[in-house]
Amino acid sequence: MSAEYQKALMSTPAVLPFSEPPYLCGFPSPYHNDSHRRFQKAARAWISENITKHALEWEREESVPEDLYSRWVAAGFLPATMPAPLPIDWLKRLGIHEMPGGVKFEEWDYTHSAIFADEKFCADKVHRGQMIKGGLAGPPGALTVGVSYGLPPIFKFGSKELQERVVPEIVLGKKRICIAITEPDAGSDVANITTTATKTPDGKHYIVNGQKKWITNGIWSDYATMAVRTGGEGAGGLSLLLVPLKGHPGVEMRRLKVGGQISAGTTFIDMDDVKVPVENLIGEEGKGMTYIMTNFNHERMSICMGIVRQCRVALSTAFEYVMKREAFGKTLMDNAVVRHRLAGAGAQLESYSAWIDLLVYQTIHMTKAESDLKLGGAVAMAKALGGRIFDEVASVSILLFGGNGYTRSGQGEVVEKIYREVPGIRIPGGSEDVLFDLSIRQLVKIYQLQTQLLGTKSNL
């Protein structure tokens, strides 16, 4: 080997294939600057120490420690769950003046958000000489999901009085919030939810009746940003209401045992004549569907970012395993069919990762109106495609582990658990078939509107 090649190989760290994004493997990146790298290092250090080395144990126990949320808030990571740009004025009012890693609010963009969404899924960590595998969605989801999707609508659409009343206690970690849209009989069909919010004769309260199901973090939440029906049938009858949960009269909650992400606290909520002040209305009556749709881009992009990390953990774990596992007198890696499986899954993973990086970049360099309008279809498509890629990568990883991948303990435990989390990605945030259809309808709609406004002839 030439000295030049040796120098090239020694200039970057040796990273297990597929385990990290290219910018952490020594490759140049047009998306990442020093600010991004500082935040990544800070996030990796805290998450590795406080989550990764315990994640498997907590997922087995189906819960996380009670004090984990307050420690996470104290470490300064709660604002990282929210879409950029951050509510800087609010954060500074509450005594928060920079993000972890010494990142100034003015530096923060959606690439930082993407880094946190990637890092929170717990990259691998060496602990006491042993490699601890990350990649599980449950433990980080126990911290992030509710506030990530439940708080932004209050910032965007809530009244000043509502913000003053609830934002401080949520941002400072004194109270918790979740998003509650889905019902037993209405998932992707949001326009047909049946939970009602009827005003009292004196007009001072809403009386809420109905059920919400599969609500992540609900069991620990003091509030839910909830989709309710304040009007007639269809999307026009929906509103968003901040509904008190924990300990509130008429509210009953219980944990649901789901296939994966068990420690994230999936919850069933039953509401019987729950009294809610009218001041808890978020925005205007009848605009709930519009508000929900603006929240979906952030939710779906966060899911896409998590897909990439979970795929990386599953595939790199399998890659490492087949390099040392022997059968028929040679390692599994010495078999062409094994290399072909790795190549096929790896190509899908890296292509998908590059697309998500591009969508993040486009989001940063477009106005909110532009990104909501022009990227809605692409984000829906990316989320749907990501579920299929996750399914393929996790399946390949299980197959390469063989019997060990089908066992809930031992060498294949992380891959087995990740595989059980695939449906938890493909279904929430809009099911696959609905999102693929939505993406094309959105693209057609935008094309037709543009041709109409520009006075050009449409081919549709």
Residue 304: both structure tokens together: 């896409």
What would you measure as the largest C-alpha separation in the chain, in angstroms?
85
- The pair phi, psi for residue 281, each rounded to 5°, is -65, 130
> pLDDT 10s digit of each residue in the chain, 460 long?
888 888 888 888 889 999 999 999 999 999 999 999 999 999 999 999 999 889 989 999 999 999 999 999 999 999 999 888 899 999 999 999 999 999 999 999 999 999 999 998 865 554 444 445 678 888 999 999 999 999 999 999 999 999 999 999 999 999 999 999 999 998 878 888 999 999 999 999 999 999 999 999 999 999 999 999 999 999 999 999 999 999 999 999 999 988 888 899 999 999 999 999 999 999 999 999 999 988 888 899 999 999 999 999 999 999 999 999 998 899 999 999 999 999 999 999 999 999 999 999 999 999 888 888 899 999 999 999 999 999 999 999 999 999 999 888 888 999 999 999 999 999 888 889 999 999 999 999 999 998 998 887 766 6
Residue 297 has a pLDDT of 86
Contacts of 145 by beta carbon, 8 Å cutoff, 6+ apart: 178, 179, 216, 217, 264
What tokens were used for 26?
Answer: 């020594």
Please give the DSSP secondary-structure letter assigned to residue 99.
B
- What pLDDT does 133 receive? 62
Position 2 scores a pLDDT of: 87
pTM > 0.85: yes
Using alpha carbons, list the distances in angstroms from residue 171 to 65, 175, 410. 20, 8, 39
Q: What pLDDT is recorded for position 132?
A: 53
- Measured between alpha carbons, how far is 241 from 244 in angstroms, rounded to an integer? 10
